[in-house]
Structure 1
Amino acid sequence: MSTMTSEQATWFAQTFDRLVDNVGQAVLGKRETIRLALTGMLAEGHLLLEDAPGTGKTSLARALAASVQGTNSRIQFTPDLLPSDVTGVTIYDQKTGTFDFHKGPVFASIVLADEINRASPKTQSALLEVMEEGHITVDGVQHSAGRPFMVIATQNPIEQAGTYRLPEAQLDRFLVKTSLGYPDHAATVQILEGSAVRDRSAALHPVVTTQAVAEMADLAATVHVDGGLLDYVARLAAATRDSSTTRVGVSVRGAIAMIRCAKVLAAGHGRHYVIPDDVKQLARPVWAHRIVLDAEAEFGGATADEAIDDVLAVVVPPQQRASA
C-alpha cells in the first residue's frame, strides 16, 4: 500500500473541513467534538458520549448520517430490551415456506445507542459484537453491517440507579470517548433564535457519499507513521501500565486505536505524516476511558485524565520530522 501523497492529504483536509462545517450547522458551537467524532468514523471506530440529557447527542448522529448520505437509527436502551431488538429477527413466512430475516436498527450507517448502560449485559454484548466484527450472525447466517458503520453510544452520568456499568473490556472497544457538554452563551442564543426548527439536521445536504467515506478511511490508513513515533506510542502505553495511580493501563488495542486516530487527525490537518502533537491531542479522548485507577489513588481524587497528563509530561517524544 503506497503512502498518502501531499495532494491527497490536501484533498482529504478540504473534504474533512466541509464535513465539519456541514455537521456544525446542526450541532452549534461544538467544532472540536465534531472533528473528534468524524475522526472516529474515518478511523472506522465507535464513539462513546458521556453527557447529560439535552446536549445534542441525537442531533450529532443525525447530522453525521445526513452529511455522508447515510442512514441513521436510534435505539433507546432499557432493562427489558432484548438482543433481537437490536440485531433483528428471523421470521417464518408461511406463504413462501421460507425464513426471512428482518433487520434490526443496528443496520444503519450511524447508530445512536442511547443510554447503553441501561440495558442488560446480554443486550450490550449483542451490540458490541457487531461493533467489533462489523457483521452480525443470526441463526447461523452472517449479515454485514456495511461501510461506513459507526455506533455513537451514550451514557448518562446522572441517575445511575438501575444501570449496568460497562465493563472495562467493553469500554476498550470504543475508539473514542468524549462529551458534547452544554453550548457556550453565543451558541445557546443562536439555538434559541432557531427554536422553531425542531431538527436542524433535516435541512442538511450530503457532502460526500458513503462510498467516498469508505475511500477516505482507506486513504487515511496510508498516512505515514515514523518508527520513532510508533516507539513513542508504545512507551506512553507502557507508562500508563507502570503508573502508581493505575490498576489497568492502556492495552495494545488502545495503542493501535491511537495510531488509527492519529493518522486521520494528521490527514484532517492536510498532512500525510503523523507528528507527536497528534498523539498528545488525542491522548485523553482515546485513552482515558481505557484506564482503571488504583482504588487508593481514585479515593485521593486522582483522575484518568491526570494520569495521562503525568505520562505525557514524563515520556520524551521523538524529534519531529518535517515529512515522511
Structure 2
Amino acid sequence: MSYLKRALPVYIMILPGMLFFLIFKYIPMFGIVIAFKDYNPFRGFLGSDWVGLDQFVRLFTERDFMPLLYNTLMLSLMDIIFFFPAPIIMALLLNEVRLRFFKRSVQTILYAPHFLSWVVIVGITVVLFSTEFGGINQLLKSMGLPVINILTNADAFRWTWLIQNIWQGVGWGTIIFLAALSSVDPSLYEAASIDGASRLKQIWHVTLPALSGVIIILFILRLGNFMDIGFEHIYLLQNPLNQGVSDVFDTYVYRQGIVQGDFSYSTAVGIFKSIVGLVLIIGANTIVKRAGQEGVY
C-alpha cells in the first residue's frame, strides 16, 4: 500500500493512455468476427449468418485487388526508402550545429508542420499549384512559362504525396534521434578526434553506431504499418484523374465499408492488412535477433 501511494501519481498519469488503447484498440478487436459473417446491423454480431472465409476469397479474387496491392506497396516502399532515413539525416545535421540559438530556431521551424492537419497541407498545395488560380502557376504564366500540373497528373501523385509526408513529419521524427544522440559520451568524439578522425568519420564510427539500436526498433515498428498508408492524406489528394495510382486499401475500405455499408468485407480487408504487418514485424525481429541486435521483443 505504501508503494501504491508513492506511485499513485504515475498511475494516474498513464491512465488516459491505458484507457485510450483499451477503448479504441482492444475492445474493438472483438468486432473482427464480422469478417467471417454476413453482417447485418439489425441482427447484430451474434445473430448474423456465418460465411467462413468467403469475404477473404472475395478480396483475393476481386479485379481491384492487384492494383490496390501494387499502389499500396509502391507508396510504402517510397515511404521507407525516402521518408524513413530523412529524420535520421536531419538529426545528424542538427547534432553538428554548435550555435544553440540557431539550432533551436531550426528545430522549431521543422517541428511546426507536424501540427498542421492534412486538410491544411493539401489546401496549401491546391492554393499554390492549382492550374487555374494557383499562386505559383500564375507567376509562371506571367513569365511565359508552362504551368505545373501536380494535382491531376497521375505521374506526379506519388512524389507529391511523398514530399508532403517528408515536409510534415521529418522535423517531428528527429526528436527521438536527437534524444538518443544526447546520451552519447563526448569523450568518444574526443578520442576519435585525437586519432585523426574527421567529422564525417566521427559521424560514421561514433554517431551512427549510437543510433543503430533506435533505428532498428523504429524500422521494425514501421514494417508493422507497411500496408497502412493513411486514409486522410490519400483521400484529400485523390481525384478521378489520379485514382489509378492513388487508390489504396485505406480508400478502398472507406468506399466499401462507409459509403456502401459492406462492413464484413471491409473488415476482412483490414484483417488482411494487419496480418501482413504482423508477419513483417515477426520476420524482421527474428532476423535482427539472429544478427545479434536488440529487437522489439
Which protein is richer in strand relative to its size? 1
TM (norm. structure 2) is 0.28
Higher alpha-carbon Rg: 2
